[in-house]
Amino acid sequence: MIIQGIEIKKINDTLWEIPKHGGMLVPGRIYTSQNLLESTLQNDEAIKQVINVAHLPGIQKYSLAMPDIHWGYGFPIGGVAATDLDEGVISPGGVGYDINCGVRLARTSLEYKTIQKRIPILVENLFKNIPTGVGASGAIRKLSTKEIRKILTHGSQWAVEQGFGSDEDIIFTEEHGKLKGANPDAVSERAIERGTDQAGTLGSGNHFLEVDVVEEIFDREKAEVFGLFEGQVVILIHTGSRGLGYQVCDDYLKVLVEAGNKYGFKLPDKQLACAPLKSGEGQNYLGAMQAAANFAWNNRQIIMHLAKKTLMQTLSISESELDFHLVHDVCHNIAKIEEHQINGERKKVCVHRKGATRAFPPGSEQIPEKYFSTGQPVLIPGDMGRYSYVLAGTEKAMEETFGSSCHGAGRVKSRHKALKMGKGRDLIAELKKEGIEIQAKGFRTIAEEMSYAYKDVSDVVDVMAKSGISKKVAKLRPVGVIKG
């Protein structure tokens, strides 16, 4: 198949390969279906970005893309690449501006049918209690620089120590909510300043908090281990490191552009700015990025606690009646040092996941013991008008994708086009007709995030399931949404 003048060879029904050519050091591989490939990538620069990433010094095996692939900064969103620790590089474009943007799923013992009439007031109260939108602040008191530095080091452990959750939450957070190599000294004063009043805030764009219902169970055994059942009320949170993380990325892009020139890298796109992992520039970015990731985990931890309190107060129920527990928290904009099988040998590499979710298999020492029999929960939010999915990681993901899966639906229309499509329509009424209550800062946010702006996440998830990279466990349906 030829798309945009690029030869793409079909390996099987869910996997396509761009042969190594020109300056590519490895082939490109895209997990997708023929329909998604033809319908969403004909006019998208993302395929060229898969090729560009394959030029990175020290890249291992493949430049990978998940089925939710679309154009991004440097890397495509939905891109995965692993680089050698000695000869390879680290690139902010492989992480993104919103460092550790991620998803957190919490379960309750509530059945939707028993609280259905209370959803409008619940959504209203969630919107009041959890600050949303650009520059959102004030979820908790303004923090001192000293406290922010503690968060950058300790991640969500800080929130738990302050009473925003429990030790159990730490167990079910990826990396226990803390990357140990975080270096607050590598984070600029401006970035720290931007974070002082943003802990516990949702932000804008595609970030959200949803009240969802478990609509369908695909694997009852795994669902039981995850604590999920049909008709159950769950909370899904999607946000990241806010202004602090954005500033870290912005600061280091400038540094790494200069580093690329210093080290003589010849890359096809300046947005792939990078530095050798072993270099001072590379180590400083890695430490700052890990610190921002810790801020994001702390942020989601506080938001979850605020949501729990709001549920209890709105529904006038006790903690035991709510039975609120974190299922898992996963990040999908990050670079992490992990050990993988490369050419028959176990090797430590730097895995960039930019719009991709870790999907480790049953028995992995990197996942909670509770999930040894099932594999890691993989949380895939869709758009706010349709559904989201809970998957489970597999051994095949470890073999083929550095333990990675998709991360969402994938945008197909720009925010400008989506906004244009929404003009003249009562979008709140349209969502209400589908049984979804929404509170947002304004029309623009809703219009930009309507279902028509995204691929159908079911198509994306089906590719992952058919390929064996992730297994379907449950489908969630939104009934209440708050957005910036």
If phi over 0 gives left and psi between -120 and 50 gives alpha, with beta otherwise, what is residue 440?
Answer: beta
Three-state SS at 381: coil
352 is catalytic: no
Q: Give, in degrees to the nearest 5, the angle at Cα 298 between 133 and 171.
A: 135
Compute how many other C-beta atoms are within 10 angstroms of the C-beta atom of residue 354: 30
Note the pLDDT tens digit of each residue in 405-427. 999 998 888 899 999 999 999 99
pLDDT digits (tens, 9 = 90+) for 280-325: 999 999 999 999 999 999 999 999 999 999 999 999 999 999 999 9
Domains of the chain: 2-483 (3.90.1860.10)
- Percent of the chain whose pLDDT exceeds 70: 100
Question: pLDDT by residue (tens digit) across 360-411?
Answer: 999 999 999 999 999 999 999 999 999 999 999 999 999 999 999 999 998 8
Mean pLDDT, rounded, of the chain: 95
Q: Looking at 227-241, 308-322, 434-448, which range is the least confident one?
A: 434-448
Strand pairing class (89-90; 388-393): unpaired
Taking the C-alpha atoms of residue 32 and residue 250, their distance in angstroms, rounded to an integer, is 31
Q: Are 293 and 334 in contact (CB under 8 A)?
A: yes
Distance CA 128, CA 138 (A): 11
